[in-house]
Amino acid sequence: MTREHISLILVILYSYFRSSASWRVRIALAIKDINYEYKAVHLVKDGGQQHSEEYKRLNPMEQVPTLVIDGHTLTQSLPIIEYLEERNPEPPLLPKDSFGRAQVRALSELINSGIQPLQNSTVLEKVGDGKEEWARSFIVKGFHALETLLKQTSGKYSYGDTVTMADLCLVPQMFAAKRFKVDLEPFPTICRVHDALAELSAFKAADASNQPDTPDELRST
């Protein structure tokens, strides 16, 4: 199937502009040059639109993202990215060698499993008072580990000089770190990689400041 044929197939992404998981998938779709329809799911408005009966039929976990593609409904950001990688393998987001793929997946999961869930709004609602300090402490802990690993694996980007799935996780996580006022001075490698990625067109297109549901006051000028 050619890229032209792929672009004509209806693809729908259910997303929230600031959702880290949705953001990762937006970057992957941009890199793979897959056109899609954006359907906003506001995670706060009306008590959270992800809790509606209609949306729960798509995603029983009541989370974003959800991707409708090829007649399938996919959930969870990293499996979605892996599906896109197999469906449309160029440009690749995983190395060709098994060790390299394991390394990239480990970096991705460090963020996906080790940091992001602990700053998630559903968790912070349960924490109550001190929720910003809670989120900040787990981001800092995770960033210390990530900084150590990136010193070993990074070139221009997280793993060598080619954009990988790990980079798709890093950029939204940096946004969250800034949102929770994390001191980034101890993490120069993370900052360097992030700044290099931020210059790429796919990352600009997927940025939280540039989505259909981005509030006007947060929109890039």
160 DSSP 8-state letter: B
**SS3 of residue 163 by DSSP:** coil
CATH number of this structure's domain 98-204: 1.20.1050.10
d(CA 130, CA 121) in angstroms, rounded, equals: 13
Q: Domain-by-domain residue ranges, the chain? A: 3-91, 98-204
Q: What is the pLDDT, as a whole number, of residue 128?
A: 80
Does residue 200 contact residue 207 with C-beta atoms inside 8 Å?
Answer: no
Instruction: Tell me the pTM.
Output: 0.93
CATH number of this structure's domain 3-91: 3.40.30.10
Give the torsion sign (CA, 144, 149, 152, 155).
Answer: negative
Q: What is the pLDDT, as a whole number, of residue 204?
A: 98
* Cα–Cα nearest to 87, from 166, 3, 164: 3
Q: What is the pLDDT, as a whole number, of residue 221?
A: 63
- Give per-residue pLDDT as tens, 179-193: 999 999 999 999 999
pLDDT confidence bin for 206, thresholds 50/70/90: very high
Rg of the chain in Å (alpha carbons):
17
pLDDT confidence bin for 1, thresholds 50/70/90: very low
Share the mean pLDDT of the chain.
94
Q: What is the pLDDT, as a whole number, of residue 8?
A: 57
- Give per-residue pLDDT as tens, 82-136: 999 999 999 999 999 999 999 999 999 999 999 998 888 888 778 888 889 999 9
Other beta carbons within 10 angstroms of residue 54's beta carbon come to: 7
Q: Which residues pair with 69 in a beta bridge?
A: 72
Question: The tokens 């974003």 sit on which residue?
Answer: 64
Q: How many Å separate Cα 38 from the centre of its chain?
A: 15
- Give per-residue pLDDT as tens, 125-184: 788 888 899 999 999 999 999 999 999 999 999 999 999 999 999 999 999 999 999 999
pLDDT higher than 90, residue 3: no
Exposure string of 181-204, with b = 16+ CB inside 10 Å and e = fewer, is ebeeeebebbeebbebbeebebbe
**Percentage with pLDDT > 90 across the chain:** 81
* Cα–Cα nearest to 75, from 83, 85, 84, 65: 65
User: Cα-flanking dihedrals φ and ψ of residue 106, to 5°?
Assistant: -65, -45
